[in-house]
Amino acid sequence: MSERAAPAGPGALAPWLATIAAYVVPLGFVLAPMALFLVYSFFSVDHGSIVFSPTISNYVRFFTDPVFLPIFWRTCLLCFTVALLCVLFAFPVAYFLTTLRGRSRYMLLVLLLVPLLMSYVIKIYAVRSILGGNGMLNRALLATGLIDKPSMLFVFNLNAVLLTLTVLLIPFAVLPIFLSLERIPKALRHASADLGATNAQTFWRVTVPLSLPGTLSAMSFVFVLAIGDFLTPQMVGGQSGFTFGRIIYSQFGTAFNWPFGAALSVILAAVVILAIRLGGRLESKHGGAK
């Protein structure tokens, strides 16, 4: 007589539930909203009401209107500059951390990452209080006699957006560069020194090439974070610091043109995906070159 199969217990269902959750969460919270935005981008608005008829007028408007495309390219250039500055400032910090030994290395790394736990709005207000007309920077320049009246060079314009985003996003660049530098075997540096290379030659010919995957990862990560930010330009950009993110925000808010905002969001998502793919391809290329 054959034995009856034992009923499946909670332990047997756990792998199935984990597998379902692994697919349901990305589908429900990532792919489904993106698909909804894509569908909405082919609708239009007529007198405040959404017309559910397929049209490509939103994309035609983006490419033909003289306002949107220049702001889009200017935002891309701004975010690329932010990513480049973050890497330039983060690399020396990450390299310094790798020269430390023991717990001090990771304690300092944690201290550098502490600002990520703070409120984003509070950090923006802190930077604005430094760069403002009556901020610490202007007070210091006035005290030293370098200027005779408060300068508005770094407040309510693209310069303010550039500096604020750079300050806020530097910690996101430090971590991947630090991890990339930490994985470089010390034996390679010792071998370079044994072959007669100076410290500068070892740095430029060994350390920098081998750290390129982490550097490129940091650049793509910061670029994606910067190009999707609308709060920072809203708070420190003013009228002359208008970015593509603020346009998207205005379409869903004051303009109440959700289809056009969805079309702009799809275009922005395409740029983000392209930046991630490009960064991943460059990382794998330089990583394989090791």
Q: What is the pLDDT of residues 24-71, one digit of tens each?
A: 877 888 888 889 989 999 999 988 888 999 999 999 999 999 999 999
Q: What is the mean pLDDT of the chain?
A: 88
Calculate the CA dihedral of residues 203, 209, 211, 213 and round it to 10 degrees.
170
pLDDT of residue 288: 55
Whether the per-residue pLDDT at 164 is higher than 60: the answer is yes
Report which DSSP code applies to 50. E
pLDDT of residue 8: 52
pLDDT of residue 1: 46
Rounded Cα distance, 170 and 165, in Å = 8
Whether the per-residue pLDDT at 234 is higher than 50: the answer is yes
Q: Going by C-beta distance under 8 Å and a sequence separation of 6 or more, which residues neighbour residue 167?
A: 123, 127
Beta strands in 225-285 (DSSP E): none
pLDDT of residue 11: 59
Per-residue pLDDT reduced to its tens digit, 240-287: 888 999 999 999 988 889 999 999 999 999 999 999 898 888 878 766
**Residue in the block written with tokens 């034996």:** 187
CB atoms within 10 A of CB 290: 11
User: In one letter, which amino acid is 21?
Assistant: A
Buried b (16+ CB within 10 A) or exposed e, 257-280: bbbbbbbbbbbbeebbeebeeebe
